[in-house]
Amino acid sequence: MKLDYVTIFPAYFAPLDLSLVGKAVEAGILNVGVYDLRDWAYDVHRSVDDTPMGGGAGMVMKPEPWGQALDCLLGIGADTDTEVNGRTCVIIPSPSGELFSQSTARELADYARLIFACGRYEGIDARVAQYASSAVEVRELSLGDYVLNGGEVAALAMTEAIVRLLPGFVGNPDSLEEESHSESMGSLLEYPVYTKPASWRGMDVPEVLLSGHHAKIAAWRLNQAEELTRMRRPDLLGRSGDSA
Ligand code: ADE
| Torsion sign, CA atoms 17, 22, 28, 32 | negative
Q: Ligand 1 pocket test: pick from 148, 149, 156, 159 the residue with the most ligand atoms within 8 Å of its Cβ.
A: 148
**Crossing angle for the helix pair 19-26 and 152-163, nearest 10 degrees?**
70
pLDDT confidence bin for 241, thresholds 50/70/90: very low
Lowest mean pLDDT among 148-152, 182-186, 208-212: 182-186
pLDDT tens, position by position, 140-181: 999 999 999 999 999 999 999 999 999 988 777 777 777 878
**Closest CA relative to residue 35, chosen from 74, 62, 63, 1:** 74
* Sheet bearing 31-36, strands edge to edge: 31-36, 2-7, 113-117, 88-99, 137-142
199 CA → ligand 1 middle, Å = 42
Q: Is the pLDDT of residue 244 over 50?
A: no
* Mean pLDDT for the stretch of residues 113-118: 98
Antiparallel, parallel or unpaired: β 31-36 and 2-7: parallel
- What CA–CA distance (Å, rounded) separates 144 from 95? 7
* Mean pLDDT for the stretch of residues 85-100: 95
Residue 174: the pLDDT is 78
181 CA → ligand 1 middle, Å = 21
Question: How far from the centroid of its chain's Cα atoms is residue 241's Cα?
Answer: 22
117 CA → ligand 1 middle, Å = 12
pLDDT tens, position by position, 2-26: 999 999 999 999 999 988 888 899 9
Under 8 Å CB-to-CB from 126, ≥6 apart: which residues? none
* Mean pLDDT for the stretch of residues 216-235: 97
Q: Is the pLDDT of residue 209 over 60?
A: yes
What is the CB < 6 Å shell around ligand 1? 93-95, 142-144, 146-148, 151, 154
* Mean pLDDT for the stretch of residues 206-223: 98
- What CA–CA distance (Å, rounded) separates 102 from 115? 19
**Closest CA relative to residue 209, chosen from 201, 182, 197:** 197
- What percentage of the chain reaches a pLDDT higher than 70? 95
**Residue 83, Cβ density class (10 Å: 0-12 exposed, 13-18 middle, ≥19 buried):** exposed
Mean pLDDT over the full length of the chain = 92
Residue 81: the pLDDT is 52
70 contacts 76 by C-beta, under 8 angstroms:
yes
Q: Is the pLDDT of residue 192 over 70?
A: yes
Residue 177: the pLDDT is 74
pLDDT tens, position by position, 38-84: 999 999 999 999 999 999 999 999 999 999 999 999 999 865 555 67
